[in-house]
Amino acid sequence: MDTIAAIATPLGEGGISIIRVSGTSAIDVANKLSNIDLNQIPARKMTLGYVVNKGKKLDQVLWVVMPGPKSYTGEDVVEIHCHGGLKVSELVLEAVIEAGARLAEPGEFSKRAFLNGKIDLAQAEAIIDVIRARTDTSLRVAFRALEGELSETIEEIRDKLLKILATLEASIDYPDDVDEPDVDDLQNQMIKMHEDIDALIASFIKGKSLREGYLVAIVGRPNVGKSSLLNQLAKEERAIVTDIPGTTRDVVEVEINVSGVSVIFADTAGLRETDDPVESIGVGKSREYVKKSDLCLWVIDSSEPLTDEDYRIAELLKDKSVLILLNKQDKPSKVDATDLATLNLESKLLPISLTEGTGVNEFMLELEKQIGFSGYETMEEVLVTRVRHKKALEKARMSLEYAIENVASAPLDLLTVDLRQAYSALGEITGHVVTEDILDRIFEEFCLGK
């Protein structure tokens, strides 16, 4: 394949910067710029030298030559470790391009690693998850996927499917020599596979929040204590708290690790009808956050009776998962259980006083229960973290369901059609079955130089 190059380290000032070159002529291209013969230096060891361009020394560097197939991409790879400055890495990259390499597209190194069979598609996706992980738990999950845990689980199911297919096909092709397979046995095997796939699909709820993080919108009327709640969670004054309704106009986001899950808490403008143009934009944003959030914390001022605004909020939150915080418990309560029942929300109610700090621990425990993720280290469960994987599993499950339903009545060759579909749907996850545009979409998300 043609030779590609990119800066593999983040752009900025640092100790070193690595320019990575990969492709059929990687060593030849790099050799044009090296003061030492890169064909003669020991493979996969660092050798001190210079990058020399048009007779001028550009930088003192460490050269590393990794001949394929024992390299990240499976092709010949050269790494140039130069000083970690913006200009110097830029000039070295330019020199490499002038010497005959092409600038790599985002994720192109990893794409080549996939195309050359160094990693499967689920592992390639795990690489980007390792890089993007924000908490120890999400890092563990991504790393286990990179080590091939998910791929192995999928391959095991595919192997079983293949065995069944082979048995069925043998009895279709050689009806005189091979007995018809036992229907009960076939059905049991398929039911077991169906259960395994079901469990994987069910793990997506947890897997998704671990990989993508979680968005919690703090909503409610003005002046109920939303910003006070955000500050309490952030353990610092992140949002302005005053007794003037309409203080918060823009959304203030704080990221917090809630037992392994990276959670963004968004403090929003109080929901009310307003003539103030700035505040009204803020209220519009609050509504958007409600829509895109995974959980809403609805703060209610229990020292004031419910208003029409509260009923409008209840309407807005109707299809969301909601925790209701009855704040200002230090003051005499004007809201009772009967009032709250009229809101028609089946949400958990938590009494709290943000100024006194009462109820805060109970609230944190409830939050951890709803979104937290502890004990992953010791867990055997393989997690599905990507929509792409979940969709493929659902496709496989559907084909398997057809097969299970029809196993007793349908002709054998019809059964093989369903099973083959399940087999190929699962193959999409590991990349055994993949189209060019799916590949492009996956590697587009990567950073340059990876």
Ligand X SMILES: Nc1nc2c(ncn2[C@@H]2O[C@H](COP(=O)(O)OP(=O)(O)O)[C@@H](O)[C@H]2O)c(=O)[nH]1
Give contact residues for ligand X (rule: CB under 6 A): 220, 222-228, 241-243, 247-248, 270, 327-328, 330-331, 353-355
CB of 357 to ligand X, least distance (A): 9
Alpha-carbon distance 256 to 134, whole Å? 10
Residue 243 binds which entry of Mg ion, ligand X, none, with Cβ cut-offs from 5 to 8 Å by kind? ligand X
Question: 243, 294, 296, 242: which is closest to 268 by C-alpha?
Answer: 296
Q: Which is nearer to ligand X, 60 or 242 (CB)?
A: 242
161 binds, among Mg ion, ligand X, none (CB under 5 to 8 A by kind): none
Distance between CA 407 and CA 401 in Å, rounded? 10
Choose from ligand X, Mg ion, none: what does 355 bind? Cβ within 5-8 Å by kind: ligand X
Pick between residue 272 and residue 389 the one whose CB is nearest to Mg ion: 272
Minimum distance between the CB of residue 272 and ligand X, rounded to whole angstroms?
A: 10
For 1, 112, 181, 446, the CA distances from 101, given in Å and listed in that order, are 11, 15, 57, 20
Picked from Mg ion, ligand X, none, the partner binding residue 347 (CB below 5 to 8 A depending on kind) is none
Q: Which does 309 bind (CB under 5 to 8 A by kind): ligand X, Mg ion, none?
A: none
Residues 145-204 that bind Mg ion (CB under 5 A): none
Q: Smallest gap, in angstroms, from Cβ of residue 355 to ligand X?
A: 4
Q: Which does 23 bind (CB under 5 to 8 A by kind): Mg ion, ligand X, none?
A: none
d(CA 135, CA 171): 52
Query: Measured from the CB atom, is 126 or 229 closer to ligand X?
Result: 229
Residue 346 beta carbon to ligand X: minimum distance, rounded to whole angstroms:
24
Q: State the minimum distance, in angstroms, from the CB of residue 233 to ligand X.
A: 12
Within 322-341, the residues that bind Mg ion by CB under 5 A are none
Binding partner of residue 397 among Mg ion, ligand X, none, CB cut-off 5 to 8 Å per kind: none
Q: Give the pair of three-digit tokens for residue 390.
A: 């979940």
Our CB check for ligand X shows the closer of 132 and 238 to be: 238
The smaller minimum CB distance to ligand X, of residues 167 and 228, is found at 228
Residue 95 binds which entry of ligand X, Mg ion, none, with Cβ cut-offs from 5 to 8 Å by kind? Answer: none
Site for Mg ion in 377-406 (CB under 5 A): none
Give the bridge partners for 217, in sequence order: 266, 296
Alpha-carbon distance values, 39 to 56, 61, 63 (Å): 22, 17, 11
Task: State in angstroms the smallest separation of the CB of 286 from ligand X.
Answer: 11
Distance CA(124)–CA(116), nearest Å, equals 12
Q: From the CB of 283, what's the least distance to ligand X, in Å?
A: 12
Nearer to ligand X, 353 or 399 (CB): 353
What residues between 200 and 229 interact with Mg ion by CB under 5 A? Answer: 226-227
* Beta carbon of residue 256, minimum distance to ligand X (angstroms, whole number): 17
Q: Among residues 222 and 431, whose Cβ is nearest to ligand X?
A: 222
Q: Which single residue is written with the structure tokens 């990179």?
A: 146
* Least distance to Mg ion, CB of residue 357, Å: 19
Q: Considering CB distances under 5 to 8 angstroms, the limit depending on partner class, which of Mg ion, ligand X, none binds residue 228? A: ligand X
Q: What is the amino acid identity at position 243?
A: D
Of 200 and 229, nearer to ligand X (C-beta) is 229
The whole-angstrom separation of Cα 384 and Cα 392 is 11
Name the binder of 331 from ligand X, Mg ion, none, CB < 5-8 A by kind: ligand X
Q: Which is nearer to ligand X, 271 or 429 (CB)?
A: 271
| 339 Cα distance to chain centroid | 41
Per-residue H/E/C for 200-265: HHHCHHHHHHHHHCEEEEEECCCCCCHHHHHHHHHCCCCCCCCCCCCCCCCCEEEEEEECCEEEEE
**Cβ atoms of residues 95 and 58 within 8 Å:** yes
- Pick the closer one to Mg ion by CB: 227 or 430: 227
User: Which residues, 241 to 300, sit near Mg ion by CB under 5 A?
Assistant: 248
List interacting residues with Mg ion (CB under 5 A): 226-227, 248
